[in-house]
Structure 1
Amino acid sequence: MKLKFPIVLRKELKETLRDRRALSLLLLFVLMYPLLVGGVLQRQIDRATRPEREGVELAVIGSEQAPTLMNQLRQRNVTITELEPMGEEEINALLRRQNVVAVLRLTPDFVDNYHAMRPARVELWFDSASDSSRKLDEIEYVLQDYSRNIAGARLLAHGVSPANLNPVLVQRYDTGTSASRSANTISTLLGIFFIPAFMFCMSTAVDSTAGERERRSLEVLMAQPVRPSDLIIGKWLAASLLSIVGITLELAIAHGILKWLPLEEIGLSWRLRWSDLAMVCLASATLSLFAAALEIALAINARSFKEAQTLVSFTMIVPLVPVILVPMLNLTNKWWMYMVPVLSNQTLLRELAKGQSIGLLPFLQTFFSSLLLAMLCVWYTERRMKSEKYMMTV
C-alpha cells in the first residue's frame, strides 16, 4: 500500500505557512533567546570594563588626614571628591543619588591613632544594592594595600622583616582554560537554547489535532482511505520540521553572537566550531521530533483548541527542570545526562564549547534517546486514534 503521509505532510505545511501568527511567533523565539543571552553577557562585559573607561568616583570626608592614601587612590584611577563632615542621614542620601560609588570617612582621631600605632579607623559607606560592586572592589583593594604598606614599614622600623607576616607563601596555578570557564559560567544559559524546541511546534501540533477536532474537519480526514498512522506521521513531521528549522536558526544566530562578543574581557571564550555546531544541530533534530510527538499525544485527547493549549503548556515545565536543577546541584558530567532530553543537548553543547573532544557516543546517546521517546509518543497517538472510544468522541 502506498504511503500517504507525504500528502498529509504537505497539507499541514501549507496550512501552517498560511498562518502568519504562527510564523511570527517562530521568528520571535528564534531571535529572542540568542539576543537575550547576548544581552546578558554584553552587560557583564560592560560592567567588567566600566572602571577602566570611566574611573571610580569616591567621596572622602577628612582626606587631609591621609594624603598618602589619597595619592594611592588617584593612582588607581579613583576620582576623589572632598566633602565636609557629614552625618549618617546625609551620607545615605548621597549614596541613594548614586553620584559616587562609596563614601570614605576618616574619623577625627585617625591621625592620633596612626601616630600612636593604634588601629586608625576609616569608615567605608556604600550601597550593596547598586550596580557598582566591581568599582567597590577597586577601592577596597587600595585600602588593603595601604594597610599592608603601613604594617611593613612599621616592622622594618623595629628591625623585623615584613616577610614574617606571610610565613606560608601560596602560589596558585589555574589549569582551567577560558573555554571551560565560559561553558561552566553560561551552562544554564546554554540550556534555554533548546527549550524553544517545544514552542516552535506547539501551534502546529495543537491546531492539526485539537483544532481540527473542534472544527470537525478531523472527521473528514479519518473518513478518507488513509491509515491513522499516515495521518499521525504526516502531522507529526509537519510540526517537527518547524521545530528543527527554528532550533537550527536559533543555534546559528547564538553561535554568531557568542563568537562576536569580546568574552575575553570577562575571562571567557567560545571555541565552538561551525562543524561542531552542525553536529549539535543534527543530534538535536530528534529533540524536535520528541517535542512534536509529545505535544500531539497530549493534544489528541483534548476536545477543544483551548483545552489542548492548557495540556500542552505543561510540556514547557518538563525541560526546565533538568536545565535549572543540574547546574544548581553542580553535578559533574555523567553518562546518564546524555539520555535525558534537553539536558543531553545542553551537556553536549557545553562540553563542545570547552574545546574538548567527546567522541561519537554522546552524539548517538543524545540522538537516539529523544528518538526513542518520540516513537513511543507516536505509537501511543496511533493507538489512541484507532480506539473506538476515541472515534465515538470525535
Structure 2
Amino acid sequence: MTLILTVMRKEWRDLMRDRRTVLIGLAMGALLAPALIIGMNAYAAEKRTKQLESVLKLPVAGAEFAPNLVTWLEQRNVDVVDPPADIAEAIEAQEHEVILEITENYPAQWYAQENARVNVYYDGSRESARVARARIDGMLSQYSSQKGRMRMLSRGVDPGSASALLVVRNDLATEASRAGQALLFLPYFLILTAFLGGAYFVIDVTAGERERESLESLLLVPAAAWQIMVGKIGACLGFGLMMITVALLAFKLSFSFAPNLIVEMKLSWLATGAIALSLIPIALIGVSLLTLLAANAKTVKEAQSYMSVLTLLPIIPTFALMINPIKTQLWMYAVPFVSQNQLIMAILRGEAVGALELAVYAVSQLAIAAIILSLAAWRYSSERMALGR
C-alpha cells in the first residue's frame, strides 16, 4: 500500500503542476454541460414567452365571410393582415408561419348550423411555427366550443349532455418524480463525465509515458508492476471523482439560481450525494478500461483514437432508454451504463431502491472492474510493456 500511495502522490503532483490542463479539463468536462443546459433553457423560455405574449400577425383569406370570427381573434392579441397571393409559396418561403383561410361556403354552413369549414396552413417540419400554430389551434378550438354550446342552449339542450363521460384525471406524480422527468438528460451527462472524466490523465500517465520513454524506468524500480498500475489508476480515479463532484455541484447551483427558468428541475443535496456514490463504479470501470487500452497503445494519438469509440458506449443505452423507456428489472442493475441510468433516474424521482438491486449493482460493477484491472495488470507485467514495445 505504501508503494501504491507513493505512485498516486507522484502522479497527482505531476498533474497538478499543469494547472492549465486541469482547469481546461474541469471547464470543458464538468462545467460546460450545466452552462449549456441553463443557457439553452433560459433562451428557450424567454423566446417562448415572447412568442406567447407578442401580437400574432395572422394572414386571413376570406375574412369577409366570417367577420365575427375575425373580430373575436383580434380581441385576443391577433393582428389580422391581408393574405398572400399564393399561400403555399408564402409558407414555403417562410414569409408567414400560419395562414388562415375561410371558405366561401362558411356563411351558408354557419347559418345552417353545420360545421363551418376553415383551413389552417402551416409547415409542420418547422420548429419556429410550433408556437404560432398552437396559439391559432387553441383559439379556434375555444371559439368552436363556445359557439357550439350556444347552439345547444338555443335549442333547449344542456351543453353538458354532449359528453357521455365525465373524466376526472388524478395525477399521482410527486414533485420529485416530476423533477426526475424534467431531468431526463442528466444521467447521460453525468455517466459520460464519470466514465471519461479521467481519460486524458489516464492517457498521459500510460501511453504518454511510454511515448516519452519514462514508463520503462518506472517499471524497473523494486515494486510489482501491478502496484505501479494501481497507483496510477488511483490518481486518475481521484481526478475523475473530482470531475463528478464539480459537475454535480454545477448542476445543483445552476438549478438553484434559475428557479424561474427551470421550475421542475430540482436537485436536493441528498440526491446529489447519492448520485455521486452511484457513479463511483462506472468511474472505476472507465479508468480501468482506458488504462488497458492505453497500455496497448504505443503513442498518445493512438490512445486518443479509442476515445471516439468509448464515447459511444454510454450514449447508446442512455438514448435507447430515453426513446423507448421500459420497466426497471433486476438484470438492468448488472449492465454497465444501463444500471447507472436506471439508478440515477430512481434517485431523481425519489424512488426507493431495494437492497437486492444495490447488491447486484455493486457486485456486478466491481466484478467487471476487477476483470479489466486484471487484464491491465497482466499487460503491465509483460516484458513488452517494460521494453516499450
- Taking structure 2 as the reference length, what is the TM-score of the superposition? 0.88
Q: Which amino acid aligns with 1:82?
A: V
Q: Which residue among 313, 316, 321 is the counterpart of 1:326?
A: 321
Q: Given that residues 281 and 365 in structure 2 are in contact (C-alpha distance below 8 angstroms), is that contact kept between their aligned partners in structure 1?
A: yes
Q: CA deviation at 1:334?
A: 2.3
Residue in 2 that maps onto 1:170:
167
Query: Shift in Å at residue 52 of structure 1?
Result: 4.4
Letter in 2 for 1:244: L
| Among candidates 247, 250, 254, match of residue 247 of structure 2 | 250
Tell me the alpha carbon deviations over residues 280-327 of structure 1, each in whole angstroms, 9 at most, x when there is no partner: 212322322221111001111112222222234422221222111122
Instruction: Return the match for 2:295 from 292, 297, 300.
Output: 300
* Alignment map for 1:38-117 (pairs within 5 Å): 38-46=38-46, 48-75=48-75, 77-83=76-82, 86-88=85-87, 91-92=90-91, 96-98=94-96, 101-117=97-113
1:342 to partner: Cα distance: 3.1
5+ residue gaps, structure 1: none
Identity of counterpart residues, as a percentage?
27
SS at match of 1:59: strand
Residue 227 in 1 paired to residue 227 in 2? no
In the alignment, what sits opposite 2:116? 120
Q: Residues 88 and 45 from structure 1, CA distance in 2 versus in 1: closer, same or farther, beyond 3 angstroms?
A: closer
Q: Name the residue aligned to 2:148.
A: 151
Q: How many residues were matched structurally?
A: 387
Q: Is 1:216 aligned with 2:213?
A: yes
What SS is found at the alignment partner of 1:195? helix
SS at match of 2:170: coil
Deviates more, 1:121-130 or 1:359-368: 359-368
- Looking at structure 1, the residues matched to 375 and 332 of structure 2 have their Cα atoms a distance apart, in angstroms, of 25
Residue 201 (structure 2) aligns with: 204
Report what 2:31 is aligned to.
31
Q: 1:158 to 1:280 in 2, by over 3 A?
A: closer
* Residue pairs, 1:376-391, within 5 angstroms: 376-391=371-386
Per the TM alignment, residue 58 of structure 1 is displaced from its structure 2 partner at its CA by 2.3
- Kindly report which structure 2 residues correspond to 1:358-377, keeping only aligned pairs within 5 A, or say none: 358=353, 362=357, 365-377=360-372
Letter in 1 for 2:309: F
Q: CA deviation at 1:138?
A: 2.3
CA distance in 2, matches of 1:37, 1:341: 25
Residue 340 of structure 1: CA displacement?
2.8
Q: CA deviation at 1:355?
A: 2.9
Partner secondary structure for residue 79 of structure 2:
strand
Distance in structure 2 (CA, Å) of the matches to 1:51 and 1:169: 34
Q: Classify 1:124/1:201 alpha carbon distance in 2 versus 1 (closer, same or farther; 3 Å).
A: same
Q: TM-score, normalised by structure 1?
A: 0.87
**Contact between 1:188 and 1:324, CA under 8 Å: does it hold in 2?**
no
Change (3 A) 1:84 1:331: closer
Residue matched to 1:15: 14
2:54–2:77 contact (8 Å) kept in structure 1 = no
What are the superposed Cα offsets for residues 135-164 of structure 1, whole Å, 9 maximum, x if unpaired? Answer: 322211221232233333334444444344
